[in-house]
Structure 1
Amino acid sequence: MMYNDEVLGISSILSENRRTRPNQFLGASLCPFCLENASEIEIVRNAIVTEEGDKIQIVNNKYPACSEEGIVYGIHDVIIETQDHHKKPEHFTKVHWKVLLQVIRDRWITLSKMPRIHFVQVFKNEGERAGASIGHPHSQIIALEEVPCTIEEHYKKMEAYFRQTNKCRICKEIEDKDLSVLEQDGWQLCVPEGASVPYETWIIPKKHISNIGQMDEADLEALAYITEQAIKMNRQMLGEISYNMCFMNGRYEQDEHYHFFIKILPRTGQFAGFELATGCTINVVNPKTQKDIMKKYLLDLKGGL
């Protein structure tokens, strides 16, 4: 079941079957997402072949946090980002990223239109420290009937800020050129002023759109390029580090006060007692210092292309 305590600001989902999910970082021979083990995949939602001949698939999560028949109503998908077990996201081309983003956009729209669905979260756990249980590159989508109270509060505060200032909070972030790392074709890669973890970055569209469903092909093309650069930069700068990638969307055909953005959160440390007790993180890297470091790595990256 889903538990929302709006007074304490706590949301949790009870899903006992998640306890039995495999932990497989053992190679392609045992990986359920590789083609030779296709029988392990329950239902293919979608399949697209990229220009490089690779395949992206959406399948049902075999160990879902929610289901259409369970006590927590919802849908839990896995996006298999490539059929090559050893191809990591930093090896994805711009073309690959664009197709992947198209798949995510279209599935997000489909799920958001379902009558009982009121919240859809797209996220990627890359590496064991980021919560991944299978090494094959993949993302996930969880669509829920109930909105977690922390997200509901997030929506309310974004709207309240707009009403008080007549300006979007994320648009204000874009205006802070001091923390901009890369700008390209209407998108900005930046360090958020209140970065919660070292080397956190946000990818933000300069035009005000509230969710990924409002993106056209030109938007996806530009987002694919800046995402490719961000992931490669992180790999070059931080090495083979685990990270989370979170797509922050407003609700479908609502939330004109919301501004879509993507958070990339490297797992450079661990949350300890203070963070868990207060929800307030301790960041040991100054955002302005981080911006300068990232700009240097981006220049080095472009020099190597």
Structure 2
Amino acid sequence: MSQLRLDPLTGRWVVLSVDRSERPSAFAPRLSVVQADTSRPCPFCPGNEEASPPALETYGAGGRWAVRVVKNLYPAFEGDEPFVVEHRGPVFTQANAGGIHEVLVLSPSHADGWDAISEDQAALVMAAIRDRVEEHAAVPGLRYSQAIVNSGREAGASIEHPHGQLLGIPFVPRELVDEQAGFARFAGRCLLCATVAAEEDAGHRVVLADDRVLVVAPFWSGVPYEMLVLPRAHTAHLHRAHPQDLAGVGQAIREALRRLRQRLGDVAYNVVFHAAPYRAPEPYHWHVHILPKLTTRAGFELGTGVAINIVAPETAAAELRAADPAESTPAQAVAGQA
């Protein structure tokens, strides 16, 4: 059973999930490949479905799945116990880590990450995320869903087959609380609507733009080649977004990752979806962070929480705009730096 413990210095909850250490190669050293042991059949490839839990949802036509959602075998959040905070002493505060932890298999292809799937497949992935978040929101006691994609060992992936994770949790994490506070402090109508207008007006940090989505290397980028994917339509909740906006975001993520790969090679990255907690009021505007893993957080970053970015977002955007995703040979990857 997982447990939540409150860090009294920061106010952030920490998940204590010792069962996750039992994952195959959970503590493997840094490798050029994701899986240390590739002798086992991939549980996410077609034909190996029995190696993973039964599907919660499948998407596809003609009797073949294109996107598949299953329970995570090593969940960080599990069970329907109510979120009850216990004070075990002056600085010991804990709660049950009930909730939902699912795996979203992005494609039947073992080799095709989000950058390599078709536009239709990207739209289908977004539809699956929407459906699962909507399902989570109907579960009593849950307050927020976090959707993520970890690509590469350095980004936290433990299985090579491209997949994401969906977690329904009983509290609103500090990162979202901080973002909600940012929206509340902003003097205008919406912080990210204003960002869309300001970045498009400036132009030099725009990576991609169409009538539904803007992708920028944000002014405040904390890591090299960070990107922010912004739907133009103002919607607080991902699971209530228009289907065409969802599809547009999925396709923009695909294009942004293709450009990242062409510019930097096969680098590790995280894709993080942020939307308002299920029952949270305005102001908020759902969005997606793309965070390449090119540098290492060292003592200063860990000690202060202040990021040091060694590539200006204006430079990153210019290079990503110039990248041609159709090129077959990617540029040399940037080496990790402290």
TM-score (norm 1): 0.91
Secondary structure of 1:232's counterpart equals: helix
Amino acid at match of 2:188: N
Task: Tell me which residue corresponds to 2:114.
Answer: 89
Unaligned runs of 5+ in 1: none
Question: Equivalents in 1 of 2:145, 2:248: separation in Å?
Answer: 23
Question: Equivalents in 2 of 1:253, 1:146: separation in Å?
Answer: 12
2:144 is the counterpart of 1:119: yes
Amino acid at match of 2:267: I
Q: CA deviation at 1:69?
A: 5.5
- 1:194-216 Cα shifts (integer Å, max 9, x gaps): 10100000110112111211222
Task: Tell me which residue corresponds to 1:21.
Answer: 23
**Which shifted more, 98-107 or 81-90?**
81-90
- 1:53-104 Cα shifts (integer Å, max 9, x gaps): 6521110000000101673111100001122212232210100000110000
2:228 is the counterpart of 1:202: yes
Question: Could you tell me whether the CA contact under 8 Å between 2:262 and 2:327 is conserved in 1?
Answer: no
Amino acid at match of 1:16: V
Q: CA deviation at 1:158?
A: 2.0
Runs of 4+ aligned structure 1 residues displaced above 6 Å come to none
Task: Tell me which residue corresponds to 2:194.
Answer: 172
2:263 is the counterpart of 1:263: no
Question: Equivalents in 1 of 2:325, 2:54: separation in Å?
Answer: 39
Question: Equivalents in 1 of 2:7, 2:17: separation in Å?
Answer: 18
2:209 is the counterpart of 1:183: yes
**Which shifted more, 210-219 or 150-159?**
150-159
Task: Tell me which residue corresponds to 1:41.
Answer: 52
Q: CA deviation at 1:153?
A: 3.1
The alignment of Structure 1 onto Structure 2 pairs a total of residues equal to 299
Question: Equivalents in 1 of 2:110, 2:36: separation in Å?
Answer: 11
Question: Equivalents in 1 of 2:239, 2:8: separation in Å?
Answer: 28
Amino acid at match of 1:66: F
Q: Please identify which structure carries the higher helix content.
A: 1
Closer, same or farther: CA 302–281 of 1 in aligned 2, 3 Å: same
Question: Could you tell me whether the CA contact under 8 Å between 1:78 and 1:141 is conserved in 2?
Answer: yes
Task: Tell me which residue corresponds to 1:212.
Answer: 238
Closer, same or farther: CA 50–230 of 1 in aligned 2, 3 Å: farther
Amino acid at match of 1:187: V
The alignment's C-alpha RMSD in Å is 2.2
Unaligned runs of 5+ in 2: 26-34, 82-95, 329-338
Q: CA deviation at 1:138?
A: 0.3
Identity %: 28
